Amino acid sequence: MSFQAPKGTFDWTPPRSERVLAIREALAAPARRAGYGYIETPVFEDTALFARGVGESTDIVSKEMYTFTDKGGRSLTLRPEGTASVVRAVLQHGLHNGQLPVKLWYSGSQFRYERAQKGRYRHFWQVGAEALGSEDPALDAELIMLAADGYAGLGLTGVRLLINTLGCKECRPGYRAALQEFLRALDLDEPTRARIEINPLRVLDDKRPEVQAQLAGAPMVVDHLCGACKTYHEEVRSLLTASGVAFADDPRLVRGLDYYTRTTFEFVHDGLGSQSAVGGGGRYDGLSEMIGGPSLPSVGWALGVDRTLLAMEAEGLLADEAAGERVQVYGVPLGEEARRRMFLLVTELRRAGLVADMSFGGKGLKGAMKGADRSGARYALVLGERDLAARAVQLKDLTTAEQTEVPLTEVVDILKGKFS
């Protein structure tokens, strides 16, 4: 019997997996430069954290969570998103009692039982950033800019930013009532009708064409904003414009989580088909209270690593899949004594900071040189009995085929010089 990865999951293997590491680092780099500290939370949490924080009316909570009962009879859930866990950790460890805002970034797996298709997986990886404890449009603009810089740093040019505001607890009730009145008159199935009463904004996020067709005349949140929300949103927009961040206003953008207030945004890429969102986020001023904490107005985002990779492929940025030297130097020992000496030499090279590998399994010259070529190394070190006697090694440049004899005592320094 041969095992396979579960449906909706996949493995990252070299050399593609190296790209994924580089993408995670590039997406996190702008946040780190802005003073965001790294946080890591458990992969599973108390189920009630997500039910309360993400929202009972969301598809995530009602249909998509991986929930199980542990041996102590507790209901636990694999995290479907990162923000609720970060807020829980901030409250638990009292980080909000220090300097505000608390600025954090994370990188990790999320799990949702979704209909598996390209760009939508049941196990996926996100890089996220959160700024907690401050209600300031400059903070919203900062986070949006950091995400935009992350995509730009990867060379992506086709990522578009959509932005909207969802109002606050002062103006949302009036909009909610107008939206409910409009939605109740539509021809919708029972689960959707139930959603109108719990969180009508979620109906606007319904992707089904038969629902979207009926939403053409739906009232817009921008027409129901209070003065404070209008001013706040204009400030976010003007700061983005001043920073050179291009965006489009999308009055229908609501995102799929119940905790968002005011600023909401999404990064989309047109090369991905139906799963066009590569990242997004927004302000969530009431989430801390939802999970039993004090008022802690916050804003954050999560960027999809898997979809960012697909976007880069769509733009032809990963055409040369083997790019980037995995191995710099490859050892080719000929004979038992040479193998022992090469093992020590390769160890020395690695400790000197070079990426070095060698031929294993007692291959002959031909097989070992094939391994050197496949490794992508720029140099091969050939060590035979005659070389050992002369206390030297043959240094072969695999791009020019030029070969020179180098004393064993000098080879590490010579190679370090070639790669410096």
Domain boundaries defined on the chain: 16-171+225-314, 329-419
Tokens matching residue 219: 């009232």
The span from the CA of 281 to the CA of 147, in Å, is: 10
**Can you give the pLDDT at residue 323?**
47
Q: What is the pLDDT of residue 304?
A: 96
Rounded to whole angstroms, how far apart are CA atoms 366 and 8?
A: 42
Retrieve residue 107's tokens: 């990188």
Helix (H) / strand (E) element for 419: namely: helix 411-419
| Positions of the chain with pLDDT lower than 70, given as ranges | 57, 256-258, 320-325
Q: Under CATH, domain 329-419 is a member of which superfamily?
A: Anticodon-binding domain (3.40.50.800)
Task: For domain 16-171+225-314, say whether CATH 3.40.50.800 is its number.
Answer: no
Could you tell me which residues are annotated as the binding site for L-histidine? 81-83, 112, 126, 130, 255, 259-260
Selection from 340, 401, 352, 342 nearest residue 373 by Cα: 401
Residue 230 makes CB contacts below 8 A (sequence gap 6+) with none
pLDDT at 272: 85
- DSSP-derived 3-state class of residue 113: coil
Q: Which residue has the tokens 């072969």?
A: 396
Rounded Cα distance, 71 and 74, in Å: 7
CA dist., res. 130 & res. 300, Å (int): 4
Query: What span, in angstroms and rounded, lies between the C-alpha atoms of 164 and 158?
Result: 20
Q: Residues annotated as binding site? A: 81-83, 112, 126, 130, 255, 259-260
Q: Which residue blocks in 352-396 are alpha helix, DSSP H?
A: 365-375, 385-389
Determine the 3-state secondary structure of 127 from DSSP.
Answer: strand
Identify whether 137 is preceded by a cis peptide bond (ω within 30 of 0).
Answer: no
Please report the pLDDT score of residue 116 as a whole number: 76
